[in-house]
Amino acid sequence: MDAVTALAPQGGLIAATCTALGLSRASLHRREAARKQPRAIARARPKPPRALSDAEQQHILEMLRGPRFVDLAPAEIYACLLDEGAYLCSIRTMYRVLAKHGEVRERRRQLRHPAYQKPELLATGPNQVWSWDITKLMGPVKWTYFYLYVILDIFSRRVVGWHIADAETAALFQPLFNDAVEKHGVEPGQLTLHADRGGPMKAKATALLLADLGVTKSHSRPYTSNDNPFSESCFKTLKYQPQFPKRFGCIEDAKTFIRHFFGWYNRDHHHAGIGLMTPDQVHYGQAEEVYDARQKILDRAFDANPERFVRMPPKPPRKPIAAWINPPFKTQEIQA
């Protein structure tokens, strides 16, 4: 419409221009007419004749602030005054008077949840950030469970420690974590341990253990499973295995199955999140060697049949460079 208004009057071609652009001439003329009309001046709303006077409002405000009614709701005050044979105003008017002076608020103690900060953790190598969680495995009969404790390195995806018990307590986690730290040679100040807000994770015994070992603790926000994605992904891989049983006959059966599964997971499982390498290859520094060997094989394939690769020479999946829990920018990439 702006283009028609600017160009058409020069040649008197409003009708032809509107037809060519598929515009309605009536809409164009209404718009121009509305622009030419002077804007209406905003006038203050007159005070209704039935409104309370300033003196009456002040009297009601002083009554509501008085020691007798200061802790009562307007509906209660209204009923008390009616029972005493007095009427000053309606309940809604009492609220209007209070709101005018900023005195309408919730006076009861309200539960306010603290503002939990989103965890942002970065690992550029093994043994920098570990994640741990507990999942249930169904036992032989209904309402019986075994509890699987798993500690996972988020950079290599390697399971660095696991344990199965018939209870979920912080006391069972302590020897498991001590053994993992000793086995992998973790120094004080090197490691951050991330977990959700379950009972064993927030327990005082766990916090003291991490403080003694010089390990930084990190927790997910409440009811936010995305804050602990690596442990959740590991548990899904476990429970979606075709061989995963619906129930375990006893705790020894569960230990046997989990021992075999994590052996396969660490040694043979090609993980999509780490360039289709196995967790052991990444954890023990073999990623560069594996990547170079794959590139040589793809180079030979390209040399043999270059016409099969239309866009560019083939490259293997990218080497793992960094692992984030909640990266500050989803599009940010960490360059080597």
Residues 78 and 212 in one domain: no
Domain annotation covers residue 106: no
What tokens were used for 62?
């002083």
Place of tokens 């690769």: 309
d(CA 192, CA 323): 13
Residue 153 lies in a domain: yes
Least confident of 48-62, 64-78, 106-120: 106-120
**CATH, residue 315:** 3.30.420.10
Q: Are residues 74 and 150 in the same domain?
A: no
What lies within 8 Å, CB to CB, of 64 at 6+ separation is 70, 74, 77, 94, 97, 98, 103
Distance between CA 140 and CA 250 in Å, rounded? 7
**Gap between the Cα atoms of 146 and 165, Å rounded:** 6
Q: Which of 100, 133, 155 is the last residue of a domain?
A: 100
Does some domain include residue 259?
Answer: yes
Looking at the fold, whether 213 and 305 belong to one and the same domain comes out as: yes
Q: Does position 331 have pLDDT exceeding 50, yes or no?
A: no
153 and 82: one domain?
no
Total domains in the chain come to 3
| Residue 63 shares a structural domain with residue 15 | no
Under DSSP, is residue 273 helix (H, G, I), strand (E, B) or coil? helix
By CB atoms closer than 10 A (0-12, 13-18, 19+), residue 272 is exposed
What's the pLDDT tens digit per position in 60-109?
Answer: 999 999 999 988 899 999 999 999 999 999 999 999 999 998 888 776 77
Same domain, 58 and 20: no
Residue 150 lies in a domain: yes
**233 and 330 assigned to the same domain:** yes
219 DSSP β-pair partners: 195
Q: Is residue 49 part of a domain?
A: no
Tell me if 143 sits within 8 A of 270, measured CB to CB.
Answer: no
- 71/208 same-domain check: no
Q: Average pLDDT in the 148-158 region?
A: 97
Distances (CA, A) of 112 to 53, 109, 115, 116, 129: 40, 9, 9, 12, 31
Q: Same domain for 293 and 149?
A: yes
Q: How far apart are CA 150 and CA 168, in angstroms?
A: 12
- Give me the domain span that covers residue 80: 54-100
